[in-house]
Amino acid sequence: MKFSDIPGQEQVKARLRSMVDSDRIPHAFVLEGPAGSGKFALARALAQYIHCTHRTPDGEPCGRCPACVQHQSFSHIDTLYSFPVIKNGRQTAISDDYLTEFKDFLGESPFMDFNLWLGKLGNINAQPHMYVEEGAELLRRLGFMTRSSRYKIVLMWLPERLNEETANKLLKLVEEPTGDTVFIMTSDNPRAILPTIYSRTQRIAVPRYSDADVALYLVGKGISPANAADAARVAQGNMNLALRLATGDEENATFFDLFVRLMRLAYARKVGELREWSVEVAGLGRETEIKFIDYCCRMTRESFITHLHVDTLLSMSDAENAFVQKFFPFINEKNVEDIVALFDRSRRDIIANANAKIVFFDVAVKIIMYIRRK
Ligand SMILES: [Zn+2]
In a domain, 247, yes or no: no
Same domain, residue pair 83 and 139: yes
Do 38 and 131 fall within a single domain? Answer: yes
pLDDT, greater one: 89 or 63: 63
Q: How far is the CA of 98 from the centre of ligand 1 (A)?
A: 27
Mean pLDDT of the chain: 91
CATH number of the domain enclosing 66 = 3.40.50.300
Are 194 and 329 members of one domain?
no
Q: Do residues 265 and 324 share a domain?
A: yes
Which of 92-106, 265-279, 302-316, 319-333 has the weakest average pLDDT?
A: 302-316
Q: How far is the CA of 144 from the centre of ligand 1 (A)?
A: 24
Domain assignment present for 307 = yes
3-class SS letters over the chain: CCHHHCCCCHHHHHHHHHHHHCCCCCCEEEEECCCCCCHHHHHHHHHHHHHCCCCCCCCCCCCCCHHHHHHHCCCCCCEEEECCECCCCCCCCCHHHHHHHHHHHHHHCCCCCHHHHHHHHCCCCCCCEECHHHHHHHHHHHHHCCCCCCCEEEEEECHHHECHHHHHHHHHHHHCCCCCEEEEEEECCHHHCCHHHHCCCEEEECCCCCHHHHHHHHHHCCCCHHHHHHHHHHHCCCHHHHHHHHHHHHHHHHHHHHHHHHHHHHHCCCHHHHHHHHHHHHCCCHHHHHHHHHHHHHHHHHHHHHHCCCHHHCCCCHHHHHHHHHHHHHCCCCCHHHHHHHHHHHHHHHHCCCCHHHHHHHHHHHHHHHCCCC
Q: In terms of domains, do 260 and 351 share one?
A: yes
Domain termination site, one of 153, 178, 208: 208
* Backbone CA torsion sign across 295, 296, 300, 306: positive
Q: How far is the CA of 60 from the centre of ligand 1 (A)?
A: 8
Which residue segment(s) compose the domain that 144 sits in? 3-208
- How far is the centre of ligand 1, averaged over its atoms, from the C-alpha of 52 (Å)? 4
With respect to residue 278, please indicate whether it lies within any of the assigned structural domains.
Answer: yes
**Which of the four pLDDT bands, split at 50, 70 and 90, describes residue 245?**
confident
Single residue among 208, 238, 263 that ends a domain in this structure: 208
Q: How many angstroms separate the alpha carbon of residue 63 from the centre of ligand 1? A: 5
Query: What's the pLDDT score for residue 176?
Result: 67
Q: Per mean pLDDT, which range of 17-21, 82-86, 125-129 is the poorest?
A: 125-129
Backbone angles phi, psi at 364, to 5 degrees: -60, -45
Decide: pTM greater than 0.75. no
Residue 68: what pLDDT? 97
**Does one domain contain both 117 and 179?**
yes
Please tell me the distance between residue 156's alpha carbon and the centre of ligand 1 in angstroms: 22
Query: Is residue 289 assigned to a domain?
Result: yes
Cα 92 to ligand 1 centre (Å) = 37
Residue 321 binned pLDDT confidence (cut-offs 50, 70, 90): confident
Q: Output the pLDDT for position 315.
A: 60
Instruction: Lowest mean pLDDT of 95-104, 156-165, 205-214, 316-325, name the range.
Output: 316-325
Average pLDDT value for residue range 329-346? 93
User: Are residues 280 and 198 located together in one domain of the fold?
Assistant: no
Mean pLDDT (whole number) for 60-84: 95
Q: Are 116 and 42 in contact (CB under 8 A)?
A: no
Residue 127 lies in a domain: yes
Would you say 121 and 101 are in contact if contact means Cβ atoms under 8 Å apart? Answer: yes
Q: How far is the CA of 70 from the centre of ligand 1 (A)?
A: 9
- Read off the pLDDT band of 310 (50, 70, 90): low
Pairing of strands 181-187, 28-32: parallel
Same domain, 76 and 202: yes
> Which pLDDT band, with edges at 50, 70 and 90, does 34 fall under?
very high
Phi, psi of 59 (to 5 degrees): 80, 40
Q: What is the whole-number distance in angstroms between the Cα of residue 15 and the centre of ligand 1?
A: 19
Q: What is the pLDDT of residue 177?
A: 61
Say whether both 147 and 261 belong to one domain. no
Q: What is the pLDDT of residues 148-194, one digit of tens each?
A: 788 999 999 999 999 888 888 888 878 766 678 999 999 999 999 99
Q: Which of 208, 241, 272 is the last residue of a domain?
A: 208
pLDDT at 93 over 60: yes
- Are residues 202 and 272 located together in one domain of the fold? no
Among 74-88, 167-181, 250-264, the least confident range: 167-181
Instruction: Confirm whether 227 is domain-assigned.
Output: no
**How far, in Å, from the CA of 142 to the mean position of ligand 1?**
23
Does a structural domain hold residue 337? yes
Q: What is the mean pLDDT of residues 217-244?
A: 89
Distance of CA 143 from the midpoint of ligand 1 (Å): 25
Number of structural domains in the chain: 2
Is the pLDDT score of 208 beyond 80?
yes
**In angstroms, what is the span from residue 44 Cα to ligand 1's centroid?**
13
* 43-57 residue pLDDT tens: 999 999 999 999 999
Does the pLDDT at position 313 exceed 70? Answer: no
Question: What is the 77 CA–ligand 1 centroid distance (Å)?
Answer: 14
Listed range (164-168, 295-299, 318-322) with the worst mean pLDDT: 318-322
Q: Residue 149 C-alpha to ligand 1 middle, in angstroms?
A: 12
Amino acid identity at 35? A
Q: What is the mean pLDDT of residues 263-272?
A: 94
CA of 173 to the centre of ligand 1 (A): 27
The answer on 357 and 271 residing in a single domain is yes
State the distance from the centre of ligand 1 to the C-alpha of 103, rounded, in angstroms.
20
Length of the chain, please?
374
pLDDT at 122: 80
Residues 155 and 296 in one domain: no
CA angle at 254 for the pair 250 and 256, rounded to the nearest 5°: 115
Query: In the sheet that 79-82 helps form, which strands lie side by side, from edge to edge?
Result: 79-82, 152-157, 181-187, 28-32, 202-205
| Rounded CA separation 16/1 (Å) | 14
What is the rounded CA–CA span in Å between residue 177 and residue 287? 48
Residue 327 is predicted with a pLDDT of 87
The band of 124, judged by pLDDT with boundaries at 50, 70 and 90, is low
216 in any annotated domain: no
Cα 111 to averaged position of ligand 1 atoms, centre (Å): 23
